[in-house]
Amino acid sequence: MKLARLFILFGVLIASQQALADDDSRRCHWWQFGHCGVEGRPHDAPNADTLITIDVATNKIYLFQDGELVDQSSVATGSEKILRKGKRVWVFHTPRGRMKVLRKVKDPVWRKPDWAYIEEGKPIPPPDSPSRDIKGHLGKYALDLGGGILIHGTDEAHSIGRRVSHGCVRVPNDMLETVWKATKVGTDVYIFESAYTKTSMSERHSDLDF
C-alpha cells in the first residue's frame, strides 16, 4: 500500500514538473523570437494598442493591433559593414531592443552624410552644402526611433529583403503607408534577431547621419 502511494506521488511530481516546463517554454522574450510564442509578436510585447516588430535575421516587419497581426512585409536592415576613412569609423548596424516612435516625418529629406560621399569615392562637400539635401530617397514617410535610426521608404526597391542599409529599416511603399497610418508618436517598436549573429559595434550610424 505504501509503495503504491509512493508511485502515485512520484507520478504527480513528474506531471507537475512537466507542466511547469511547458509553461516556461511558452514564456518567450523579444530576443527569443522564432523559438516560441506568436509569430512576429514576442511574448514580452504588449497585447494592447499598436505594435511594430522587426526581425533583422529574416528582414521582416510586422504590424499588430491589440495583439492581432494586421500586416507584414520584407524590409532591408543594417549591413553590419564597417567603413574607415583615416581615424573615422562607421558601423552600419540596426540596433536591437525596445524603442518607441519619437517623431513622424512626412516627405523626409535625406541630408547626405560624409560616409555616403566616401562610399562613392567623391569629395566631401562642406556641412552646409545644399548638395547634401536629397529629396525622395527616403520615400514618403519616416518614423524616427532616435539615435539616427528611422523606419522609412526607399527608392532602391531591389534592397528590400536584404541586409544592405546603413542602420535604418527600409520598408516597401505600400507597407510603409499602412504602418504610417496605424502608428502615432509613442508607438512601441521591437527590433530583434531570431537567429543571433555576432556583430561589431564600436559606433552606430544610420541612413541619416544626425
Residues marked active site are found at: 152, 168
Place of cell 583615416: 86
C-alpha cell at 155: 527608392
Q: Which residues of 105-126 are buried (b: 16+ CB within 10 A; e: fewer)?
A: beebebebbbbbbbeeeeeeee
Long-range contacts of range 37-44, CB-CB < 8 Å, 24 or more positions apart?
39/69, 40/64, 40/69, 40/72, 41/67, 41/69, 42/190, 42/192
Let me know: does 141 contact 57? Beta carbons within 8 Å.
Answer: no
As a whole number of angstroms, the distance between CA 177 and CA 143 comes to 11
Cα separation, 103 vs 150, whole angstroms = 9
What's the rounded Cα separation, in Å, for the pair 19 and 145? 40
- Tell me the C-alpha distance between 192 and 204, whole Å: 16
What is the residue whose three cell numbers read 549573429?
197
